[in-house]
Amino acid sequence: MTQMKIALTTINDVKNFVNTVSRCDFAVDLSGGRYTVDGKSIMGIFSLDLSKPLDLLAYTDDPAFAEAMAPFAAE
């Protein structure tokens, strides 16, 4: 499993994130507060509070995925 904090502050960030994770053949979940949504669902992501970092949980240990998520990493 890969866990990290990400920040999706603009509409383009969300669009690019969904385009990236949609190519994955494993599940990706995003949590914001007490809500968890499918990371491949643009509508689900927009239902979260995007003003705060989100918790990403991907069901893979592939280092290439972590590298692909680097641009979205929360500071």
State the Cα–Cα distance between residues 33 and 4, nearest whole angstrom. Answer: 15
pLDDT tens-digit map of 4-31: 999 999 999 999 999 999 999 999 999 9
Q: How far is it, in rounded angstroms, from Cα 6 to Cα 46?
A: 14
CATH class entry, domain 2-72: alpha beta
Shortest CA distance to 48 belongs to which of 2, 20, 7? 7
> Please, which pLDDT band fits residue 75 given cuts at 50, 70 and 90?
confident
Confidence (pTM)? 0.91
pLDDT (tens digit per residue) in 39-60: 999 999 999 999 999 999 999 9
